[in-house]
Amino acid sequence: MRVDAVRNRQQIVEAARELVARDGDAVRMDALAARAGVAVGTLYRHFPTKSDLIGAVVEESTRALAVRAEDALDQVRLGASAWSQLEGLFASIAQGYSAHRAVVTTAALLELGSAEDPEGSAARAVAAMGAMVAAAQRAGDMRTDVDLADLLMLLGQAPERDDDRRARYIALVSDGLRPRPPASS
């Protein structure tokens, strides 16, 4: 592969990372090309379709999330509190959200990542989160009437655009997952 082609591909992925993070799948190909400093045609040389390009970004982000989640799980195995690790993970998700969101939502669709491609990043991320949820519940730090699917669904509904709003959302939801008092009403 020619050296300029490699460089362009990197710039395209880089630009896509940024713009997809901001605009989601509403990015426009010409804007993307402009940001990457290439012509639209070059986009199509490297990625046959818009979906493929976004898919690549999502895949990359999914991989990062999987690593992050498995790392958190390792911490738990080393004795850290499962709940606090989950909270940290939530924060990570809140940050690089627009890409991660796809993970969470597609993961939910893929029957919790168990079905097709059980070795895929999404499946691994979901598996790690599942283990932590179970541990947190066992430790009494998380409501037991909420399961992994619920958690993924809630995360998948976080606001996309506004960062502050999303942080607040995550905080509220996270708090809502803590165990509740016996019951009163």
146: alpha, beta or left? (left if phi > 0; alpha if psi -120 to 50): beta
Tokens of 84: 């606090």
CB atoms near residue 167 (< 10 Å): 17
Tokens of 111: 């029957």
Indicate which single residue of 56, 104, 158, 170 sits in contact with a second copy (rule: CB under 8 A): 158
Residue type, position 17, single letter: R
Contact flags string 13-42 toward DNA, x per CB under 7 A: --------------xxxx-------xxxxx
Indicate which single residue of 17, 46, 143, 168 sits in contact with DNA (rule: CB under 7 A): 46
**Could you say whether residue 51 binds DNA (CB under 7 A)?**
yes
Indicate which single residue of 24, 110, 159, 167 sits in contact with a second copy (rule: CB under 8 A): 159
Q: How far is the CB of 16 from DNA (least distance, A)?
A: 12
Residue closer to a second copy (CB basis): 37 or 179: 179
CB atoms near residue 1 (< 10 Å): 6
